[in-house]
Structure formats: C-alpha cells, structure tokens
A = this chain, B = another copy of it.
C-alpha cells in the first residue's frame, strides 16, 4: 500500500496548490485592491504551472501504472481514485506546458480587457484577446484529442462522458418543447406584474435576509462565509471551508436573494462531500452539470416554489414593509416567476434560461470550427437573440460581451448550465417520491430532510461517480429533457393560465 500512499501524498500536494490558487481567486474577486492584479495574475499562473507539472510528472504516471496493474485488489474508492487520476493525468500530459502557461497569461489579459471594455461597449479593443483565446482553445482541443469532433474535448472537461452529438440531440428535444412554450408565455406577459421587485429594498436588510436563508438551507457558517462580489461565485479551500459571494442591488430584489440561494446550493454540495476525499481529486462535484443542478435546485425548485414561500413570505413582508406594501402571497409568487424575453442570461427565468445557453452553444461550435470569425461575433449573437428570444441587444455589454467565461477560455462550459436544469428536476422529482412529506417540510421551513437526501444520493459521492452514474444511482434513469419540460409546462401553465 506504500504506492497508494505515495500517490495520495502527491495528490495532496497538488490539491494544496489548487486550494491556494482558489483562495487567491477568491481574494481577487472580493477584497483585493485594484493595484494587486498584476502580481496576482502571475502568482496564480505559477501555482497552476507547478500543479500541472506535478500531475504531469513521470513519477505520477509510474505510481498510477503500478496501481492500475492491481486495481482489483484496491478498495473501490481507492480504485476510483486511480481511474480519475489517470484521466486527469492523461489530459495534463497531452497539454504542453508552453500552452498551459500561454493560456494562463492570455486569460489574465483577456479578463482584464473584458472588465475594462465591457462597460465601454468597446468590442474592438477586446476582439484581439478573444481571437487569441479561441486560437488557444482550438489548440487545446487538438492536443487533448476527441472521439468525434473538437468540441467533445472541451465539453468533456466539464461534463465527462457526454458527446457533442448527444448534447445536440438533447438540446434539440429541449428546444422543441421550450421555444413554443416561451412564445405562449410571452404573449401573456401582461398577466404578471413584477414592478414592485424593482423598488428600493434596504441593502443591509437584504444582506441579513440572505444570511438567514443560507443558514436555513443548512449552509454551515462555521465552515464558510458569505461576502460581496460583482459576480457571485462559490469556492472552496479544502472540504470544510467553502465560501459563497452574492451581490446586492438596491433596486432589484431578485439579485441578492436568488444569487445567495444559487450559490448556497453549490456550497451545500461541496460542504457535504465525503471528508475522506479531502485533499484529493475526488473532493469535487461529479461534473459542472451536476453541480449546477444543485444550485438551480435550491434557487428554483425550492426557492421559487410555493411551499418555500409559505414559510418565508411573512418574514419577507416583515423585513421589507415599504416595497411590499399591499403585495399578497399570490402576486409575490407570480412576480418571482415572471417569464419574459431578456437580454442578460444571469437574470433569465427558468423557462428562457436554456434559450440563452443555446445561443452560446451554437456560437461556440461556429467559432471553434472557424465558420464564424470573432470579428463577426456581435452581429451573429444579435441575430441568434432575435431568432430565439425575439429581441436585439442594444449594446455589446448586453450582448456578446456580457459573460466573462470566454475571456476565461471556458469554452464548452455554458451547456452545463442547461444540463443543470435537466438533472435538477430529475433529482428533485425523485426526492419528492422518496420523501412524501417534502412539500410540507419545505412549507414549515424544515429543509434538513431534503439536504440529507441529496447528501446521501449526490453530495457525499463527490467525483467518485460520473454524472450518468449519479443520475442512474439516484433516479434509476438516463438523462432526458422531458421531466424538465413537464415541470415548466405544469408550473408556468398554472401561473399564466394555459390549458
């Protein structure tokens, strides 16, 4: 077992470097003074390079090979550790160190350019950076290799085992149901009035409310904290210390509230991974799609449900008496579930959210293949927004420059958001079957049974199961968009008075 322990020690060093890098990132987005950016970008690149070198080193491969030769003798979780390490290792070895370093520097520059030029609506200044990113991403796909097409290589980094062709089929089926539903709901837009959500909500009271809700979800503040950042995120530094951020808008009550519930879902996942996985590659979510299923489950399936607001509506009225004066339960519930064509993905409702993802996914495929040039991106984006949602972004800040993900070279990442919606409903339906009192529990503020069920079925397994295994083991089914379509048709059919 000495070989296994040596591998684990090596992986622990890699994990410590990655955790340190995560803390540098957390600080960058929360407390770092602006002048700290330049050294910070270099420090993060150094930690990433050292982590990559340690993983890609021949010694790691030798230890893994020795263990592969007697995989059957290992405990199942140790065997899984070896399999996952081999997968990570193969990817690391295929990426030349030069490319890793170039990518780290290019994303540092591109993110900085994005941050400066997005508010200025200056796509031309940002364009060379985005061109460099897509050049690098193409090189990465070629270096990593793929079963059918280059996009497979990128997608598989976030959603192991899913082919682009299968994803296209799933999205086609999802779109076939969603697009007509969205059209029907848009036509009935006047049925829901959510104007009261955009009045003045006291920022400190909003903050306090998000903290109380995170506690109610079961988020452990002894092993985490919430801070403010322009773009909410969740990050961890070893299993117990998992932190979230949120952003409070005085005149958009949804931002802080649902932002915190969303990140709280991510954080519940990470805080409840089997502690035995700590300091190793299994101490992560199964995939980004599964991760997103949990953020969206808590944000939407719980946080935008009637049972949840049975418990919290009185509280929210009490805390925000002025902006909610005269607002009754039914109107509040409808307002937080209003469906409308919108320009900004992160503000989109449950129905239109996936349509935003389709736009990005299709553009990524075209940009990667070279069928679309970066210079033509703004117009291509606007055309797809017109085709899908019927609206045209007036500026690039509200169009193709709205997200930071491409600047970060995260191509293949967006689809996991839509997959999260699909996984989330399937898993939540199963929880409802196995916990017959679930709605009643949520209505009375008892969220622990749901959290415990999710821990048992999803969270504790970390990355020891692939997404398809998680889903099969939790629900007995294969991924399908139908449960999600059924859920939105039922929920929004009722709110909007459809047949």
Contact = CB atoms under 8 A, between A and B. Distances in A.
Contacts of A220: 35
Contacts of A50: 13, 17, 50
A361 to B, nearest CB: 35
A222 B36 CA distance: 8
Interface in A333-366: none
Contacts of A237: 36, 39-40, 43
Nearest to A19: B43
A16 B36 contact: no
B20 A20 contact: yes
A383 B19 CA distance: 47
Nearest to A225: B33
A445 interface: no
A36 B238 contact: yes
Contacts of A31: 31, 225, 227
Interface in A209-244: 220-225, 227, 237-241, 243
Given A23-B23, A23-B27, A40 B241 contact: yes
Interface residues of A, number: 39
Given A20-B47, A23-B27, A38 B238 contact: yes
Contacts of A40: 237-238, 241
A42 interface: yes
A224 B20 contact: no
Nearest to A20: B20
Interface in A1-48: 12-13, 16-17, 19-21, 23-24, 27, 31-36, 38-40, 42-43, 46-47
B16 A43 contact: yes
A221 B33 contact: yes
Interface string A49-67: 0100000000000000000
Contact of A36 (B34, B36, B223): B223
Interface string A131-159: 00000000000000000000000000000
Given A39-B241, A42-B16, A224 B23 contact: no
A221 B34 CA distance: 9
- Among A31, A32, A33, find the residue whose CB has the most chain B CB atoms closer than 10 A: A33
Contacts of A13: 46, 50
B240 A46 contact: no
A278 interface: yes
Contacts of A20: 20-21, 23-24, 43, 47
A279 interface: yes
A43 B241 CA distance: 12
A55 to B, nearest CB: 14
A39 B224 CA distance: 13
A35 B241 contact: yes
9 contacts: A20-B21, A20-B24, A23-B27, A27-B27, A31-B225, A33-B241, A39-B278, A43-B237, A43-B238
9 closest residue pairs by CB, A with B: A39-B238, A36-B241, A35-B223, A16-B46, A35-B240, A16-B43, A35-B222, A20-B20, A33-B225
Given A12-B46, A33-B221, A36-B241, 12 more contacts: A16-B43, A19-B43, A20-B21, A20-B23, A23-B23, A33-B223, A35-B220, A35-B240, A36-B240, A38-B238, A43-B237, A43-B238
